[in-house]
Chains A and B, each alone.
Chain A
Amino acid sequence: MDTSYLLIQTLNGLQYGFLLFLVASGLTLIFGIMGIINLAHGSFFMIGAYLCYWLAEKTGSLWLAILLGVPISVLVGLVVERFGIVFLYKRDHLYQVLLTYGLILIFNELRAILWGNDVQSVKIPAFLAASIPLTETQAYPIYRLFISFVCLLLAAGLYVVIQRTKLGMTIRAGAANREMVQALGLDINRLFAIVFALGAALAAFAGMVNAPVSSVYPGMGEEILIVSFVVVVIGGLGSIKGAFLGAMMIGMADTFGSVLLPTGSGTVVYAVMALVLLWRPQGLFGRAI
């Protein structure tokens, strides 16, 4: 394995990790603050990807598609929260799992009705379509760098929001102690709606920017959901920092796993999770359970 090949794989691993972080951070926030385990979180990723494909077809521009798609997914998130999740706040995890499982079935069928079951592709915008040549035979696509850059920017933005703003303070307080938010006289319903919509938007956005490289296909939501679970389990439920570290680990493990162990690539990320669990059952940054 020469250095440029190694570089390419590392960049791929990072890019996948950043993407995972966008999905997993929403998942972990929604659990940490709302106490909800949301199986349908992956569906937002899928919805984002399909919206991107559909809107890009209609408008002819990826940018316009993303610009229109994000508000739509926020809206979808709000609707799901107000008309579904809201019934689950006081319920056992079992019911949360089942209701959100029902949502997945609905989203999958709606997708099949609206967009069919074929694999679709989204065009990379012309000015990002080039590649950076590394050696005579190897090159790295600029668009992938662009994804990494945008995801990193969003992650940084998320960090600033959570650390520096009033909303972020409320979110942190909510993650540490749900009663405290109420004691502080903050509107818990509004907070929940914002957090859920934010999570949905992050996942959907990840689906959108990734659509041109991954293509758009049924089942993509479940795929990313389960890997995001792995990320959250590794990082520790409710911890954004943990989600970031977990996402990087899994991004790398998955990328190098499929290079080094082509027939066992699917199992590598789970083996990493099992190892972390042996060491720290509550995840890297989780509170002791």
Chain B
Amino acid sequence: MPALSRPVIALLLLAIAGAALFPLTAETYYLKLMTKIMVLGLFAMSLDFLVGFAGLVSMGHAAFFGVAGYGLAWFANKAGIGALEVSLPAALAITALVALAIGWLSIRTTGVYFIMITLALAQMLFYFFKDQRYWGGTDGMNVFKKPKLAFGDWVLLDLSNRYVLYYTCLALLVLAFLLLLTLLRSPFGRVVVGIKENEGRMRALGYDVARYKLAAFVIAGTLAGLAGYLEVVRSAFINPSHLSWHESGTVLVMVLLGGMGTLWGPVVGALALVMLEDSISSLWDHWLLLMGGFVIAVVLFLPDGIAGLIRSLGRRAPKSEAADD
């Protein structure tokens, strides 16, 4: 259970306030970069719910990110529908169904099997979009029509405005965080966390473990879908690489780098990784070499991620209130 200690809550509020004020000073480039960070942060947070709380290490989480993205692309490009109140719920519903199907198949297995099966089934969807001209094949699609939430002439949200998009992403990120916190404190959340800790005992205590795992899988997948939808709004582009296993690997790195089992840590992980990429990718073509070394270093030397680092610093400080969870 994510026990948010007071210093952490204070830091989070500070970060949200900072993010809310950020557009006042930032250049367009950094505004867009920050939007990207929040979208990927939401994506990573959804995976943390699965890996850090339910104990399900998925290597195919990008499938849901991409499916929702293609969902939006279909509404915008194929159906010509720009109404957010149509495309968003529909894209999320489709993503939830896909997550239900993939989850239903993979939840029967555990451990390494689960990792390999989620990877393989995500790859199946990757080929589904890549092999078909209808979806634009390897090139993918440009999605220029941005969703709009409007009642008659009154436009409530126009996501083609970069400020509106920025604040929408920020609001959704905070809402998703609060939603997951609420879930984790509910009876459902207690079961999910219990399953991670000791699955066999949960079964003996009377819980139909598979159903709870599946529910957690669908919730995480649907939130990843929300991130994927926003990603396509943001970048105006979708191609199969959004579902690729590199994407799944990258988001897993964000989770670990930020600190699993904290929900907010992975957002920090997304921030760190995107900033790192932004600063070194333009300097050197082969920056992924450094990234590989970086990932290995994190695994070896920072297994609890940045959040763990913050916690241990708090513990070392003599008069700190930082509570351990």
Contacts and interface: CB of A to CB of B under 8 A. Distances in A.
**CB–CB under 8 A between A and B in the complex?**
yes
Given A101-B252, A106-B289, A109-B289, A233 B131 contact: no
A232 interface: yes
**Majority secondary structure of chain A interface residues (helix, strand, loop or mixed):** helix
B286 A103 contact: no
Contacts of A222: 245
Interface stretch (B118-126, B160-168, B177-185, B200-208): B118-126
A98 B113 contact: no
Given A84-B296, A94-B256, A112-B286, A274 B130 contact: no
Nearest to A83: B296
A289 B110 contact: yes
B117 interface: yes
Contacts of A263: 131-132
Interface string A129-151: 00000000000000000000000
Contact of A105 (B119, B285, B292, B303): B292
A11 interface: no
Contacts of A232: 116
Contact of A270 (B115, B123, B293): B123
A93 B115 contact: yes
Contacts of A274: 105, 121, 124
Contacts of A271: 124
A185 interface: no
B296 A229 contact: no
B108 A277 contact: yes
Interface in B270-289: 285-286, 288-289
A229 B118 CA distance: 11
Interface of A: 31, 37, 39, 84, 87, 93-95, 97-99, 101-110, 112-113, 222, 226, 229-230, 232-233, 237, 263-267, 270-271, 273-274, 277-278, 281-283, 289
Given A99-B299, A103-B292, A281-B108, 10 more contacts: A102-B296, A106-B292, A112-B286, A113-B289, A237-B112, A263-B131, A265-B127, A267-B127, A273-B120, A281-B109
22 contacts: A37-B116, A94-B252, A94-B260, A97-B249, A99-B295, A102-B291, A102-B299, A109-B288, A109-B289, A110-B289, A113-B286, A226-B120, A233-B117, A237-B113, A263-B131, A264-B128, A264-B131, A266-B127, A266-B130, A273-B117, A274-B105, A277-B105
For A103, A263, A266, the residue with the greatest tally of chain B CB atoms inside 10 Å of its CB is A266
B286 A109 contact: yes
Contacts of A106: 289, 292-293, 296
A99 B294 CA distance: 10
B113 A109 contact: no
B21 interface: no
The 8 residue pairs across chains A and B that have the minimum distance between CB atoms: A266-B127, A105-B292, A102-B295, A270-B124, A106-B292, A109-B289, A102-B296, A281-B108
B46 to A, nearest CB: 16
Contacts, number: 130
A37 B296 CA distance: 15
Contact of B51 (A31, A94, A102, A113): A94
A264 B108 CA distance: 26
Nearest to B124: A270
A267 B128 contact: yes
B111 interface: yes
Contact of B120 (A39, A98, A230, A264): A230
Contacts of A110: 289
A199 to B, nearest CB: 15
Contacts of B110: 289
A208 B299 CA distance: 32
